[in-house]
Amino acid sequence: MRPFNYSRAETEKEAADAGSDGATFIAGGTNLLDLMKLEVMTPDALVDINPLDLKSISTTDDGGLRIGALVTNSDCAADQRVRHDYPVLSKAILAGASGQLRNKATTGGNLCQRTRCYYFYDTAMPCNKREPGSGCGAIGGVNRLHAILGASDACIATYPGDMAVALSALDASVEIRSANGNMRSVPVTDFHRLPGDTPEKDNVLETGDLITAVTLPPPPGGTHVYRKVRDRSSYAFALVSVAAVAKMENGKISGIRLAFGGIAHKPWHDPAVEDVLTGESPSEALFDKAGEILLKDAIGQGSNDFKIPLARRTLSAVLRQATASGASA
């Protein structure tokens, strides 16, 4: 770990000012310190934002929820409103990491979680995300964890988190305070980027931007499913995960939101998949069609080829479960 200056921000402005000067925010620190120890990330300055008043969950004017950026994953998953109105979010958070990590990891920090690509984590290896221009070690190497959708010649890494997958299915937004104090809201589905030629940029945050909250629209109702498929039964990253919020009316799918983890550089959201399902009666043929649309551009890299059938199978199983109740809950 390289030496750094440590300071605490008591106000959002203090934090943003430090951020504008190039400091890196630290909240839970569970991923940042992990990467700093390996010198994958080497900030000169850390600003501890834990003193900020961003630790509460409140109801918004439109009946949704505002989850402060410093609300821990544990507190978010255990919140009665989240459990009752947005169970897919509780489920996704609980499917990730461990009890200890969830107690430190925060809502804002978790959105910024970096890839688990083996080559990103190893400074002896080339990696365009860690060191732009050095090449991609994962292409042609070991790539079990890697992307099947939206990858580029520069990077085939995946976004590893669970929470953001559920947030994508819930049509949540990220509330961001810019360096100049202006607030903006970015849909979670637009928050993370595809790698393209600049895989070093995981998301749309600019220098000095501070995530202040995640906002959820009014409770969507319906059946909530989060299914995570991984290499052991707990405490492992997703190979494929699917978040679904489905509403049924008269035996037909009246509305559905789907998002996918473990298959791309961002939580994957494809409106075309939802469109083909909406208004239809659930059937295996319909689920297959949804899978075809989802995966029509999917490309395997060798050791992750299996993710293509796995994503299709998992989607079908999730749709089966999400539409089984027959009517809106």
Partner 1 sequence: MTNKFEMNDPVADLKLDRMKQGLVGSPMDRPDGKMKVSGQATYAHEWDVPGRVYGFLVRSRHPRARVTGINRDAVMQMPGILGVYDDKRLLRNPAQGMADEAPVQGTEEVFYLGQPIALVVAETFEQARHGAEALEVSYTTLDDGVFDPETANIADDDRGRKALDQGDIETAMAQAEFSLDETYRTPGHNSAAMEPHCSIAEWDGDQLTLRGSYQMLKFNRNELADSLGIDPANVRILSPYIGGGFGSKLGIAPEAVSAAIAAKDLGRPVCVTLARQQVFDMVMRRSETRQRVRLACDQSGKLTAIGHEALVSNLPGETFSEPVVQATHFLYGGATRRLGIDVARVNRMCAGSVRGPGEAVGMQALENAMDELAERAGIDPVEFRKRNIPEEHPEKGIPYSTRKLHEALDEGAKRFGWEKRSAEPAKVREGEWLIGTGMATAARVNMLQESQARVTLTAEGKAVVETDMTDIGTGTYAILTQISGDMLGLPPENVETRLGDTDFPPASGSGGSFGASSSGSAVFLACEDIRKQIAEKLQADEADLDLENGEVNAGDQTHKLSDLLNGKPMTGEGHVVPGKTGEAVSQGTYGAFFVEVAVNSTTGETRVRRMQGTFDAGRILNEKTATSQCYGGMVWGIGIALTEELMFDNRDGHIANRDLAEYHVPVNLDVPDIEVHLLKERDPWASPIQSKGIGELSICGAAAAITNAMYNATGIRFRDYPATLDKVISGMAD
Partner 2 sequence: MQKTELTINRKKRSIEADPRTTLLDALRHHLDLTGTKKGCDHGQCGACTVLGNGRRINSCLTLACMHDGDEITTIEGLGTPDDLSPLQAAFVRHDGYQCGYCTPGQICSATAMLQEVAEGWPSNVTEDVEVAPPLSREEIAERMSGNICRCSAYPNIVKAILEAAEADQ
Residues near partner 2 (CB under 8 A): 1, 3-6, 26, 28-30, 33-34, 37, 46, 48, 50, 74, 77-78, 80, 83-84, 87, 90-91, 94-95, 97-101, 103-104, 233-235
Which partner in partner 1, partner 2, none is near 59 (CB below 5 to 8 A by kind)? none
The residue assigned the tokens 């994508």 is 168
Subset of residues 35 to 64 that bind partner 1, contact rule: CB under 8 A:
37-39
Would you give the binding string for partner 1 spanning residues 288-307, x where CB under 8 A is met? ---------------x--x-
Tell me phi and psi for residue 65, to 5 degrees. Answer: -125, 145
- Between 36 and 298, name the residue whose CB sits nearer to partner 2: 36
- Taking CB under 8 A as the criterion, the residue among 80, 180, 182, 234 binding partner 1 is 234
Instruction: Dig out the tokens for 306 from the structure.
Output: 């299996």
* Near partner 1 by CB under 8 A: residue from 61, 80, 124, 250: 124
Q: Is 325 in the site for partner 1 (CB under 8 A)?
A: no
- CA distances (Å), origin 97, targets 93, 195, 221: 8, 24, 27
- Number of residues this chain uses to bind partner 1 (CB under 8 A): 38
Strand order in the sheet with 252-261: 223-230, 238-249, 252-261
Residue carrying structure tokens 């659930």: 282
The partner in contact with residue 301, picked from partner 2, partner 1, none with C-beta cut-offs of 5 to 8 angstroms by kind, is: none
Distance CA 169, CA 126 (A): 34
Q: What's the 3-state SS for 228-251?
A: EEECCCCCCCEEEEEEEEEEEECC
Q: Are strands 210-216 and 173-177 parallel, antiparallel or unpaired?
A: antiparallel
Task: Name the binder of 120 from partner 1, partner 2, none, CB < 5-8 A by kind.
Answer: none
Q: How far is C-alpha 192 from the chain's CA centre?
A: 8
C-beta of 29: minimal distance to partner 1 in Å? Answer: 15
Q: Show the tokens assigned to 103.
A: 């107690």
The verdict on 285 binding partner 1 (CB under 8 A) reads: no
Q: Which of 61, 80, 232, 250 binds partner 1 (CB under 8 A)?
A: 232
* Of 315, 325, 314, 164, nearest in space to 254 by CA: 325
Residues binding partner 1 (CB under 8 A): 1-3, 37-39, 116, 118-119, 121-125, 137, 140-142, 144-145, 229-237, 239, 303, 306, 309-310, 313-314, 316-317
